């Protein structure tokens, strides 16, 4: 049963006791009595399946009122405090942040790439990048133009078969990106804008229903594309050296060091199979067009 | 002890129990194990007992992912030791590896599933300057926060300030004794150095078995603030079990050695709490021999209570006030043992002031 | 005389253009990006014991160039770098 199918009172009740849902391979449990957080969960995770019970949960997050006036909240992950007595107005963005932190910053059998990933008809494009490079914005745009969302920020790569496992959670956008994506995709569904987070204004874009529905379908990577948002520049897609691409992805994978040799071989295979590019763009229409061309020019023989 | 703690310790002691758990019991157990820093150890015990395949898939995934973290730690420590030897190859010095680094390099059972981050070594005091020079020349930097910390470490404690490698980030602690100079107990480091044994297959040395156990006990009950209490007690349990079997005459040597090194009291506590928690087999004759070292009744009762509360992790969110208080008292105790009162007051005062300043800067 | 060596079992190589080489060093877990010349130098050291002079002359052969001072300096710098990172080590 999807979260959207639960009546509001039922959703609130289950959240008070601890509600579990799955995001890709990860199971989260959120416990909170707070109405604002309940509303947010109901909106942004509407299409996600609620779990009746979960034997093993990957992330336990709980959000409670705090301070003697109860006007603040504290947020816990696995029982340890992450945010202590923050203003209630920040409860929702910080809860979302804590959910992500809890799921991804723990030991994993996947190689966790710091990258956005989208897929179209069996081929995935990986966008590695530092915060600010534009990968979340690019992903938010592309998934409203025929691409499926696998991830906007953390992409689990399975070392055994080289496929990317989907984690199609809500995409968080900051400041100008919010307007840019709204203009590009007027039909995209946004959550409310949060004005005062540490990162400035923040809003979440719902992952398209189709992306959520297909969250159990891993994808085979075909391209590694380094986005470079360059205001005023003409759009350009140029080849990027594979050796440098490998190093860059290694430096930016969260648990590359932990996986050791296995991590290196998984990345080496990835780079081997993929065509590597750098994409310079100054607006989303250009970027989408370049990528549509790239996709159209793929060889007809399906990849390995 | 709560039901869930008892279940966790029971599963670590006896991995077959873990294999018999209901699926829904695993979630709480994994979380508790994680908070006690026992997850890797639990996984290693289960792997060792051949029970891994009988666990639910998702549980296996968590345990195997944690095992990968432990392996990574051990690879890193091996490399740090490699770089340490590389840096000190032109220095005439006997290096004795301590604690985790020694366990890993010697391949002791206690190393399995143990997270190790830093390297600790013991060297003769006379070589301290040469060792420090060599390390600084190969990319290590002192970690002291300021001059006071530097002074604290060098003059009052038993180590150079920890050195951190500027590229790799790993830290190395160079000791010339194992307990602070200002403390009340003075185990003679020369005895430790003289009895050190080679680590097979390398040109490194480690403490003799009895000394290794006594060092772990000193670290847990005299030197450290019991923050890693459970980990230290687990180490002690595994060390004792291993040496009891692998070293003939081990128990006969342990207690006299403790007395020679003035570490009778820490050993008393170590054996007492290891038996309670891990059911470590300790021969009656050893217990009897240590009776001399036990604390007077009120102190003993207090320690029992403090340790029991401080070791078991706090419950769900928030802290149990008694556990926090217990930890605080043990922290103060360990510092009390390290420093005379006037110095302690000054030290704690400075740390408190620094914390207040830091907090006011964050606000 | 100082000889240098590297262990091939410790090094995993990848290249796609024979110009930039990636090498994963198993004991340290480090991943390095090497130029063609430094990669060649390291490969020459694999499972052999070479003095700096011997390495310089082998490298000159591979590059089809003269043994001269600049090349000698490169080799010296490579060896310092390899030594610092543990990619190669001194041996007798």
Grade residue B190 by pLDDT with cuts at 50, 70 and 90: very high
Residue A134 zone, left/alpha/beta (φ > 0; ψ -120 to 50; rest): left
| Domain shared by A27 and A115, yes or no | no
Looking at A104, A128, A158, the residue that finishes a domain is A104
Half-sphere exposure (Cβ direction) of A96: Cα atoms closer than 13 Å: 26
Grade residue A30 by pLDDT with cuts at 50, 70 and 90: very high
| Domain shared by A281 and A133, yes or no | yes
CB B170 within 8 A of CB B73: no
Instruction: Say which residue the tokens 């008393």 belong to.
Output: B268
Domain count, chain C: 1
Distance CA A253, CA A159 (A): 13
Residues contacting residue B94 through CB under 8 Å, at least 6 positions apart:
B123, B124, B127, B193, B196, B205
DSSP B76-139: HHHHHHHHHHHHTTTS----EEEHHHHHHHHT-GGGTT-----EEEE--GGGHHHHHHHHHTTT
Report chain A's mean pLDDT, rounded to a whole number: 91
- Name the β-bridge partners of C62: none
Instruction: Say which residue the tokens 């399946």 belong to.
Output: A49
Distance from CA of B221 to the nearest CA of A (A): 26
Distance (Å) of CA B203 to CA B133, B218, B303 = 21, 26, 41
CB burial of residue B138 (10 Å; 0-12, 13-18, 19+): middle
Using DSSP bridges, classify how beta strands A220-229 and A123-128 pair: parallel, antiparallel or unpaired. parallel
Grade residue B158 by pLDDT with cuts at 50, 70 and 90: low
| Domain shared by A203 and A225, yes or no | yes
C14 pLDDT exceeds 60?
yes
| Domain shared by A240 and A285, yes or no | yes
Report chain C's mean pLDDT, rounded to a whole number: 95
Chain B interface disruption, residue of C4, C32, C84, C89, most B CBs within 10 A: C84
Which range is least confidently modeled, B315-324, C11-20, C80-89? B315-324
- C31–chain A Cβ distance below 8 A for any pair: yes
Distance from CA of A256 to the nearest CA of C (A): 9
**Full domain range(s) for residue C15:** 3-86
CB B161 within 8 A of CB B150: yes
Which carries the bigger pLDDT value, residue A201 or residue A259?
A259
Answer whether residue C37 is part of any domain: yes
A245 pLDDT exceeds 70?
yes
Which carries the bigger pLDDT value, residue A69 or residue B98?
B98
Which carries the bigger pLDDT value, residue A40 or residue A243?
A243
Which range is least confidently modeled, A190-194, C6-10, C87-91? A190-194
CATH of the domain at C52: 3.90.930
A243 pLDDT exceeds 50?
yes
Dump pLDDT digits (tens) for A169-182.
999 898 888 999 99
CB A222 within 8 A of CB A124: yes
Looking at A43, A73, A104, the residue that finishes a domain is A104
Using DSSP bridges, classify how beta strands C30-35 and A154-157 pair: parallel, antiparallel or unpaired. unpaired
Average pLDDT of A15-43?
92
Sheet holding C11-15, edge to edge: C11-15, C20-25, C30-35
In the structure encoding, which two tokens stand for residue A42, read together?
A: 């109901």
Q: Would you call C16 and A247 a contact, using CB atoms and an 8 Å cutoff? A: no
- C30–chain A Cβ distance below 8 A for any pair: no
Question: Is the Cα dihedral B225, B228, B230, B232 positive or negative?
Answer: negative
Instruction: Say which residue the tokens 């707070």 belong to.
Output: A34
Which carries the bigger pLDDT value, residue B186 or residue B229?
B186
Which carries the bigger pLDDT value, residue C85 or residue A67?
C85
Distance from CA of C63 to the nearest CA of B (A): 32
- From chain A, pick out residues whose CB is under 8 angstroms from the CB of B66: 107
Distance CA C66, CA B258 (A): 68
Answer whether residue C8 is part of any domain: yes
List the single residue in C with minimal CA-CA distance to B82: C86
Angle between helices B57-87 and B128-136 (to 10 degrees): 110
Q: Would you call B30 and A64 a contact, using CB atoms and an 8 Å cutoff? A: no
Dump pLDDT digits (tens) for B307-362.
776 666 554 444 455 666 666 666 666 666 665 555 566 666 666 655 555 554 44
Q: Would you call C22 and A241 a contact, using CB atoms and an 8 Å cutoff? A: no
List the single residue in B with minimal CA-CA distance to A26: B58
- From chain B, pick out residues whose CB is under 8 angstroms from the CB of A57: 27
Which range is least confidently modeled, A101-110, B248-257, C25-34? A101-110
Q: Would you call A268 and C26 a contact, using CB atoms and an 8 Å cutoff? A: no
- From chain A, pick out residues whose CB is under 8 angstroms from the CB of B59: 55-56
Touching C: A residues 206-265, CB under 8 Å: 241-244, 246-247, 250, 257, 260-261, 264-265
Distance from CA of C10 to the nearest CA of B (A): 13
Which range is least confidently modeled, A290-294, B34-38, B262-266, B316-320? B316-320
Distance CA A293, CA A120 (A): 13
Dump pLDDT digits (tens) for A134-163.
899 999 999 999 999 999 999 999 999 999
Question: Quick one: pLDDT at residue C92?
Answer: 74
Residues contacting residue A298 through CB under 8 Å, at least 6 positions apart:
A123, A222
List the single residue in C with minimal CA-CA distance to A260: C29
Looking at A81, A104, A127, the residue that finishes a domain is A104
Which range is least confidently modeled, A210-219, B212-221, C37-46, C74-83? B212-221
Answer whether residue C55 is part of any domain: yes
CB B70 within 8 A of CB B231: no
Tell me the domain boundaries of chain B. Answer: 1-55, 72-207, 208-363
Answer whether residue A24 is part of any domain: yes
Topology of the domain comprising B72-207: Beta Polymerase; domain 2 (3.30.460)
- From chain B, pick out residues whose CB is under 8 angstroms from the CB of A55: 23-24, 26-27, 56, 58-59
CB A157 within 8 A of CB A167: no
Question: Quick one: pLDDT at residue B134?
Answer: 96
Q: Tell me which DSSP letter residue A7 carries.
A: -
List the single residue in B with minimal CA-CA distance to C26: B75
Distance from CA of A76 to the nearest CA of B (A): 7
Grade residue A118 by pLDDT with cuts at 50, 70 and 90: very high
Question: Quick one: pLDDT at residue B261?
Answer: 92
Residues contacting residue A93 through CB under 8 Å, at least 6 positions apart:
A172, A194, A197, A202
In chain B the first and final C-alpha atoms are separated, in Å, by 39
List the single residue in B with minimal CA-CA distance to C84: B138
Closest C-alpha to C82, from A243, C46, A231: C46
**Full domain range(s) for residue A233:** 111-296
Answer whether residue A61 is part of any domain: yes
Partner residue opposite A55 with nearest CB, options B58, B64, B317: B58
| Domain shared by A100 and A116, yes or no | no
Q: Would you call A260 and B75 a contact, using CB atoms and an 8 Å cutoff? A: yes
Grade residue A70 by pLDDT with cuts at 50, 70 and 90: confident
CB burial of residue C44 (10 Å; 0-12, 13-18, 19+): buried
Question: Is the Cα dihedral B112, B114, B115, B118 positive or negative?
Answer: negative
Question: Quick one: pLDDT at residue B317?
Answer: 45
Average pLDDT of B110-118?
89
Distance CA B326, CA B357 (A): 26
pTM of the full predicted structure?
Answer: 0.89
Average pLDDT of B17-25?
87
CB A95 within 8 A of CB A37: yes
| Domain shared by A100 and A127, yes or no | no
Residues contacting residue B112 through CB under 8 Å, at least 6 positions apart:
B41, B44, B48
The distance from CA A7 to its chain's CA centroid, rounded to whole angstroms, is 27
- From chain A, pick out residues whose CB is under 8 angstroms from the CB of B314: 79
| Chain C residues whose C-beta sits inside 8 Å of any chain B C-beta | 27-29, 84, 86, 89
| Domain shared by A87 and A123, yes or no | no
Distance CA A128, CA B82 (A): 34
Answer whether residue C91 is part of any domain: no
Question: Quick one: pLDDT at residue B362?
Answer: 45
Which range is least confidently modeled, B11-20, B303-312, C21-30? B303-312
Partner residue opposite A62 with nearest CB, options B23, B315, B317: B317
In the structure encoding, which two tokens stand for residue A239, read together?
A: 């080849």
Answer whether residue C15 is part of any domain: yes
Domain count, chain A: 2
Which range is least confidently modeled, A46-55, A236-245, B173-182? B173-182
Instruction: Say which residue the tokens 């209490």 belong to.
Output: B229
Instruction: Say which residue the tokens 């080799």 belong to.
Output: C75
| Domain shared by A48 and A195, yes or no | no
């Amino acid at each position: 049963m999807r979260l959207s199918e639960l009546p509001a009172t039922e959703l609130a009740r289950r959240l008070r006791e601890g509600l579990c849902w799955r995001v890709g391979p990860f199971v989260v449990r959120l416990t909170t009595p707070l109405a604002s957080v309940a509303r947010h969960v109901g909106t942004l995770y509407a299409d996600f399946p609620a779990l009746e019970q979960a034997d093993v949960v990957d992330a336990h997050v709980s959000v409670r009122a705090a301070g003697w006036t109860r006007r603040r909240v504290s947020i816990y992950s696995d029982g340890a405090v992450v945010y202590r007595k923050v203003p209630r107005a920040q409860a929702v963005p910080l809860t979302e942040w804590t959910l992500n932190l809890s799921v991804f910053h723990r030991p994993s059998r996947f190689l966790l790439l710091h990258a956005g990933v989208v897929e179209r008809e069996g081929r995935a494009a990986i966008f590695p990048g530092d915060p600010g490079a534009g990968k979340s914005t690019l992903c938010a745009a592309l998934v409203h133009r025929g691409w499926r969302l696998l991830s906007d920020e953390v992409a689990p790569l399975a070392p055994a078969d080289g496929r990317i496992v989907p984690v199609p959670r809500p995409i968080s956008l900051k400041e100008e990106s919010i307007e840019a994506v709204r203009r590009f995709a007027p039909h995209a569904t946004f959550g409310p804008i949060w004005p005062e987070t540490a990162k400035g204004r923040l809003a979440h874009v719902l992952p398209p229903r189709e992306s959520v529905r297909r969250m159990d379908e891993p994808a085979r990577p075909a391209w590694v594309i380094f986005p470079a948002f360059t205001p005023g520049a003409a759009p350009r897609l140029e080849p990027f050296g594979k050796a440098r691409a490998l190093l860059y992805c290694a430096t930016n994978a969260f648990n590359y060091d932990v996986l050791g040799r296995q991590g290196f071989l998984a990345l080496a295979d990835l780079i081997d199979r993929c065509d590597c590019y750098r994409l310079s763009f100054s607006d989303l229409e250009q970027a989408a067009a370049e990528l549509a061309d790239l996709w159209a020019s793929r060889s007809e023989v399906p990849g390995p | 002890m709560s039901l869930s703690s008892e279940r966790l310790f029971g599963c670590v002691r006896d991995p077959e129990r873990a294999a018999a758990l209901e699926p829904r019991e695993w979630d709480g157990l994994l979380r508790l194990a994680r908070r006690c820093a026992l997850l890797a150890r639990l996984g290693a015990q289960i792997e060792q007992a051949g029970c891994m395949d009988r666990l639910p898939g998702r549980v296996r995934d968590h345990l195997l992912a944690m095992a990968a973290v432990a392996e990574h730690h051990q690879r890193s420590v091996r490399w740090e030791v490699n770089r340490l030897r590389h840096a000190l190859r032109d220095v005439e010095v006997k290096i004795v590896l301590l604690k985790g680094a020694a366990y890993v390099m010697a391949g002791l059972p206690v190393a399995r599933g143990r997270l190790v981050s830093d390297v600790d070594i013991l060297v003769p005091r006379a070589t301290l300057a040469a060792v420090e020079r060599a390390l600084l020349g190969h990319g290590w930097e002192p970690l002291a926060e300021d001059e006071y910390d530097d002074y604290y470490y060098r003059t009052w404690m038993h180590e150079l300030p920890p050195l951190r490698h500027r590229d790799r980030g790993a830290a190395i602690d160079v000791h010339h004794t194992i307990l602070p100079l200002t403390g009340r107990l003075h185990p003679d480091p020369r005895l430790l150095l003289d009895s050190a044994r080679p680590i097979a297959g390398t040109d490194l040395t480690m403490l003799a078995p009895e000394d290794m156990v006594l060092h772990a006990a000193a670290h847990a009950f005299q030197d450290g603030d019991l923050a890693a209490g459970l980990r230290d007690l687990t180490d002690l349990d595994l060390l004792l079990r291993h040496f009891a079997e692998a070293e003939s005459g081990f128990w006969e040597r342990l207690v006299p050695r403790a007395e020679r090194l003035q570490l009778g009291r820490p050993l008393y506590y170590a054996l007492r709490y290891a038996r309670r928690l891990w059911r470590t087999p300790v021969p009656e004759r050893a217990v009897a021999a240590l009776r001399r070292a036990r604390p007077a009744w009120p102190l003993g009762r207090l320690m029992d209570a403090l340790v029991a509360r401080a070791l078991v992790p706090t419950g769900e969110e928030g802290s149990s006030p008694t556990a926090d208080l217990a930890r605080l008292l043990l922290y103060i105790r360990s510092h009390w043992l390290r420093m005379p009162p006037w110095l302690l007051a000054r030290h704690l005062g400075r740390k408190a002031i620094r914390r207040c300043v830091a907090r006011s800067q964050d606000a | 005389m100082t000889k240098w060596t590297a262990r091939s079992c410790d090094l995993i190589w990848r290249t796609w253009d024979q110009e930039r080489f990636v090498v994963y060093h198993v004991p340290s877990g480090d991943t390095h990006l090497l130029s063609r010349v430094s990669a060649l130098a390291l490969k020459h050291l694999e499972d052999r014991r070479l003095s700096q002079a011997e390495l310089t002359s082998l490298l000159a052969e591979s590059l089809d160039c003269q043994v001269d001072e600049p090349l000698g300096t490169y080799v010296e710098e490579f060896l310092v770098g390899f030594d610092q990172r543990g990619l190669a080590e001194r041996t007798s």
